[in-house]
Structure 1
Amino acid sequence: MENSLASKMEIRDYQQDAVNKWKNHNMNGIFEMATGTGKTYTSILCINELIQTNEKLLIVIACPYVHLLTQWQKSLNNVGLTSIFNTNITKWKEKLGQEIIKLRYSSKILIILTTHNTLANNEFLNILSSSDYPKFLIVDEVHDIGSAQHRLGLSEMFQYRLGLSATPQRYFDEEGTEFILNYFSGIVYTFSLKEALEHINPDTNKSFIVHYDYIPYFIDLTPDEGEKYIEITKKLVKIYNVKEFQDVKERLLFKRQNILKNATNKYNILNIIMDNFIKSYNTSNTLIYCSPQQIDEVQNLLSEKNIINHKFTMIEGTKPDKKYNGLSERDFILHKFSEGAYSTLVAMKCLDEGVDVPSIKNAILMSSSGNLREWYQRMGRILRRDKNKDHAYIYDIIVKPVKSALIEYKNIEYKLFEKELSRYTEFISNADNRLECWNKLHAVKKELGMI
């Protein structure tokens, strides 16, 4: 029975603490919890609280991507919650209406799994509003819901609200962040990456996530890239502090970031790293994050070294298919990777959001942005525990500023490079080899005349 849900779960002190804080906040709030610390099951405990106090309950769980709905369905089924409707089907509007009628006459609860896009759909909201029963909204990866389009789904009809994210703040979007925080009535519980590394999980007698070494490589731009970089920097200097040119400034920063993101010399470093892996028989369980512009060349480099790899992008199918043994194409690729059929995954941004790939031991960051949320999400992917995994290695390739630009445009260049280093210092502070990393950072700053 669904009302005995708590008896099917082993509740940890920190999870109960999170639930209590949410209850004491009028059953509204955001859980800011590092990946791997049990956000999903903690939120299921919140569902259990409401099941105990409501005769009928309509629950909506919204995720940014369809594949995350499958993961939620598995977690809910694991604890005996089976009254589930997934909107990722044909004729979902008609069928959803039928499920809500069933709630009126027979069921105690209805859990609706949907995407952030569908949550913002007027027809979806109208169907929900036809029911007078109490409504509970859980938004996974809640930072994504703050965009102008998605926030249309944050209706006042939801009496109970819970947002989940390792990093609820939106990158370069104060308005969207403020909207999220106001709608969910703020962050009520935090379990940081540092805590996840230091706290012992009673189930395993180990930390919640694995410890790691961080191995940075600092590179220069090529002369051609350097010229383009300086040209953009000259334009930036003229408008950097002028409010009227904010849009132009952001476009220029984006162009400049793309030069850094796709720097040619990154392939030389990747070549060195992979050769070292080959020498130590260590090419398996490797994930390479790259940009769309890099993915083909990265795969070619790996294939030339006879490293069996597969790309993981936004275009792989998410629906079960016979040719993938009943799995979706995405799940089939991840399964093959976890069992060693593919030694390396070459991935783009789609592996940032909630995908479970615990077998990763080595991660190479070919492409990056200044978005700290992106880095925390990637850390979550990389540091998840697995049966044969107690440590992870993160290889980061960072582009140094052009020296001539540093001399001529010192103030702006220092400011922007310090921002680029923000993720570096974030990674260093929790790495097992942090002393070595601090020394390397000191040497680079000294070389650039920053100290």
Structure 2
Amino acid sequence: MTARVDPRSWVLTKTPRDWQSNALKSWQYAFQGIASVVTGGGKTTFALMCMQVFRRRYPTGRFVIVVPTLALVDQWYVCLREDLKVLDDSICVFSGEGRPSNFNEVNLMVINTAREFASKASEQHDTMLIVDECHRAASRSNAQALKGNYKATLGISATPEREHDDLFDSVLVPALGPVICRYEYDQALRDGVIVPFDLINVSTGMTAEEQKKYDDATIDISRTFRKVQSGDVSRDYLVRKLQRRARLAATSIQRIPVTIRLAERHRNSRLIIFHENIDSAEKILEILLARRFSATIYHSRIGAELRRDNLRLYRKGLFSALITCRALDEGINVPETDIAIVASSTGSVRQRIQRLGRVLRPAPGKQRARIYTIYVSKPEEERLVKEAGKLTDTGEIRWMHSALRKSG
């Protein structure tokens, strides 16, 4: 006779990896901590394992899961239902699109909404707080989402430490606990958790007009730097000038034909193309469609329903190429994607790690991933050279020059 399974029992459908089992022991010691795990390494599954442990200790407990974007809300919802068998009526979602009148056993919250509701959910209940992409929760406003009376806390991120401030130590660690594990690219590659990958860095030039504006901006930055040193202007003023120069490079028109040329090489692959500028992303889509690519786009100017449909259809394989801006730096899980073209990017190390992670998840028949990065300026090249020095043991790194004729 088959034993009757309680429909409200939670069953993890994935086999834990060694790092997850070891990290769980560390987390159980104090029921708190931050897991620093490479994108694609299994952060969400680890969080589900911690939830199971908490639920066994506090059977009537409650969960608050804080995420930075609606895309991650959707992904978490699917993981809870499919990977842990949480019933639909045990989950509620708090976001700008809706705020339930009552809390549930599992409460998914976009961080903007969590600032107001997370602490209320922990009142009079044994509650566990989970913060996904926890580096996003350290700002003065977002830190409101970390307040509450919690029996357990967990932060997860590929890059929990912050690049330009000390808020990791002063905000995240006091609220969530110390780093309890680190799972990096080299470990994930050895374990088969991510596929081997090649980095191909492709240089091209700016137009004569673009180069002149860039050079003028560089001269202006040098003057401003001297003024900062003498105390005549603030460092923030210099940063704004550096950002304006970076935008000049990021929007160079030459990036578009190089992107199209690379996409043509991989017409039969699953492609994701990143650009910093929405208008440029739209132009890339227009050209690809004219060349009979099965392509779609995802960015913040598109209505929510169409945006989600585009993403869903790409995930199902009905589109072979997806062009996007920053909206999908975090929160997209499409293991079948094997080619990424970074048409333009910021200098953020975190953004770089997130974008690499979009194509490194394994999938049936997927042997290797390839990431092209187009660059036009010296600062971009210097960042890529520095990166290459750190990743020599994880994959092949090649440098290419795309000789497009400069024009005025």
In the superposition, the TM-score normalised over structure 2's length comes to 0.86
Determine the structure 1 residue equivalent to 2:321: 344
Quote the Cα distance in structure 1 between the aligned partners of 2:74 and 2:96. 13
Quote the Cα distance in structure 2 between the aligned partners of 1:175 and 1:366. 31
- The count of aligned residue pairs is 389
Distance change >3 Å, CA 429–CA 8, structure 1 → 2: closer
Quote the Cα distance in structure 2 between the aligned partners of 1:66 and 1:359. 22
- Paired letter, 1:80: K
Hey, which of these two has a bigger chunk of helix by percent?
Answer: 1
CA displacement at 1:358 relative to structure 2: 1.6
Distance change >3 Å, CA 300–CA 93, structure 1 → 2: closer
Distance change >3 Å, CA 428–CA 330, structure 1 → 2: farther
Q: Does 1:17 pair with 2:3?
A: no
Q: 2:239 is paired with a residue of what secondary structure?
A: helix
Report if the CA contact (8 A) 2:275-2:281 is conserved. yes
Distance change >3 Å, CA 275–CA 44, structure 1 → 2: closer
Determine the structure 2 residue equivalent to 1:383: 360
1:395-421 per-residue CA deviation (whole Å, 9 max, x = no partner) reads 1111233xxxxxxxxxxx7xx853454
Structure 2, gaps ≥5 residues long:
1-5, 402-408
Q: Does 1:266 pair with 2:255?
A: yes
CA displacement at 1:330 relative to structure 2: 4.1
Determine the structure 1 residue equivalent to 2:129: 137
Quote the Cα distance in structure 2 between the aligned partners of 1:4 and 1:95. 22
In the superposition, the TM-score normalised over structure 1's length comes to 0.78
CA displacement at 1:3 relative to structure 2: 8.7
Quote the Cα distance in structure 1 between the aligned partners of 2:377 and 2:14. 49
Q: Does 1:51 pair with 2:36?
A: no
1:368-408 per-residue CA deviation (whole Å, 9 max, x = no partner) reads 1111111111111111122232211111111233xxxxxxx
Q: Which one of the candidate residues 292, 300, 309 is aligned to 2:286?
A: 300
Q: Mapping of 1:427-446 within 5 angstroms?
A: 428-431=392-395, 433-434=396-397, 437=398, 440=399
Determine the structure 1 residue equivalent to 2:112: 117
CA displacement at 1:61 relative to structure 2: 0.4
- Paired letter, 2:21: Q
Percent identity at matched positions?
Answer: 24
Structure 1, gaps ≥5 residues long:
100-109, 200-206, 319-327, 402-412, 444-451
Distance change >3 Å, CA 400–CA 9, structure 1 → 2: closer
Determine the structure 1 residue equivalent to 2:211: 226
Report if the CA contact (8 A) 1:370-1:423 is conserved. no
Q: Does 1:191 pair with 2:158?
A: no
Determine the structure 1 residue equivalent to 2:101: 94
Quote the Cα distance in structure 1 between the aligned partners of 2:144 and 2:135. 14
Q: Mapping of 1:64-213 within 5 angstroms?
A: 64-78=68-82, 79-82=84-87, 83-88=90-95, 92-96=99-103, 99=104, 110-121=105-116, 124-125=117-118, 127-128=120-121, 131-175=123-167, 178-199=170-191, 207-213=192-198
Distance change >3 Å, CA 425–CA 370, structure 1 → 2: farther
Q: Which one of the candidate residues 237, 247, 270 is aligned to 2:222?
A: 237
Determine the structure 2 residue equivalent to 1:102: none
CA displacement at 1:336 relative to structure 2: 2.5
Report if the CA contact (8 A) 1:370-1:420 is conserved. no
Q: Does 1:32 pair with 2:24?
A: no
Q: Which one of the candidate residues 255, 270, 273 is aligned to 1:285?
A: 270
Report if the CA contact (8 A) 2:273-2:322 is conserved. yes
Report if the CA contact (8 A) 2:64-2:121 is conserved. no
Quote the Cα distance in structure 1 between the aligned partners of 2:207 and 2:107. 52
- Paired letter, 2:66: A
Distance change >3 Å, CA 4–CA 341, structure 1 → 2: closer
- Paired letter, 1:141: E
Report if the CA contact (8 A) 2:272-2:322 is conserved. yes
Q: 2:108 is paired with a residue of what secondary structure?
A: strand
